[in-house]
Structure formats: C-alpha cells, structure tokens
C-alpha cells in the first residue's frame, strides 16, 4: 500500500510539473509565464520596486529548420534554453513564449540593468557554436534579438501594456538589423 501511495504522489508531482513546463526545453511554459507576470507586476507595484521584461527571439530560425531539419532546430532550442537558464538569476523567471521566442521576467531590475543583462545574453548566444550539436563540419551560429521593457517606465496596468512594450522593442531590434537589444 505504501509503495502504491508513493507512486501516486510521484505521478501527481510529474503531472504538476508538466502543466507549467515546456516539454522540449524544460523551462517554464507560456501558461506559467502569463500567470507569473501578473503576480510579479503586482508584487513590484506593492513594494515600489522596478521590474523588467525581456522578449528574445532567435534570428532567422526558420532557415535553420528548413536547412537542417526540425530535430536540429529542437537541439538548438534546448541549448539556447540551457544557456539562458545559466545566464539569469535564480529569482528571474525564464519561459518559452512561442516557437523560438523566450521571455524573462526580472524582478527588482530597472531598465538600465535589464538592458545590460540582455546585451550580455545576446553576446553569449552569439558566441555559441552549434557545429557539434547540429551541423558537423559546418559553422553554425545563432543570434538573438531582444526587446526590453520595464515598469514603471513603460506602463503598469494592465499587464498587456508591459508585454506590448517589450514586444514592440523586439520588433524595433528586428527592424534595426537583428542581433541587438532595444527598448521602446
């Protein structure tokens, strides 16, 4: 009976984790991000603390999938997620936002600090070499475009205001030539 109960508890824990994590990358998923952003904004407002949001998009990722296949693309996404996880603080919240988009909620971080962190992340990804993971014998590099928005500078209510500001900054980075960090 005890063995069966332990097994059920483990299954419940596995199911809970599956509800909030992305199956491919192991980081938080969009659903969890959406919940946490609202909560983190509320905490920041209550404590009168800054909060920043980064939206990062892999540049020309479709070309990688078209050239090397989706398994190679998945490998790259896993490596990028792993790198992002090691580049942020334990208090930051990293999630997969969409296909090749990632978001990072940075509590207690103002715009200047977030821009510096984002540029460090961008440079780290730019230096990664995916030759052994994806294309043996070929040089394969990836770059990121990152949009950064912070509160209170770019809006507080509703949650979508901060998200829209970060998204617009991301598109500004894309229009500006990619492999760059921008704010609204």
Count Cβ neighbours within 10 Å for each residue of 41-67 and write b for 16 or more, e otherwise.
beebeeeeebbbbbbbbbbebeebbee
Task: Give 74-77 contacts, CB < 8 A, sequence gap 24+.
Answer: 74/24, 75/130, 75/133, 75/134, 76/130, 76/133, 76/134, 76/142, 77/24, 77/25
* CA 111 – CA 92 distance, rounded (Å): 15
C-alpha distances out from residue 49 to 62, 71, 93, 94, Å: 38, 41, 16, 19
Which residues carry out catalysis? 100
């Amino acid at each position: 009976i005890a063995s069966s109960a332990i097994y059920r508890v483990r299954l419940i824990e596995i199911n809970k984790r599956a509800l909030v994590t992305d199956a491919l990358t192991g980081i938080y998923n969009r659903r969890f991000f959406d919940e946490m952003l609202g909560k983190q904004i509320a905490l920041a407002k209550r404590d009168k603390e800054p909060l920043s949001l980064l939206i990062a998009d892999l540049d020309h990722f479709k070309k990688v999938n078209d050239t090397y296949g989706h398994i190679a693309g998945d490998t790259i996404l896993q490596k990028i997620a792993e790198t992002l996880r090691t580049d942020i603080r334990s208090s930051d919240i990293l999630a997969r936002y969409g296909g090749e988009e990632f978001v990072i909620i940075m509590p207690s971080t103002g715009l200047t600090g977030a821009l510096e962190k984002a540029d460090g992340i961008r440079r780290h990804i730019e230096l990664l070499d995916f030759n052994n993971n994806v294309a043996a014998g070929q040089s394969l590099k990836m770059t990121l475009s990152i949009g950064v928005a912070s509160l209170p500078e770019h809006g507080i209510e509703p949650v979508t205001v901060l998200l829209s500001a970060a998204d617009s900054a991301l598109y500004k980075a894309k229009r500006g030539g990619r492999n760059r960090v921008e704010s609204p």
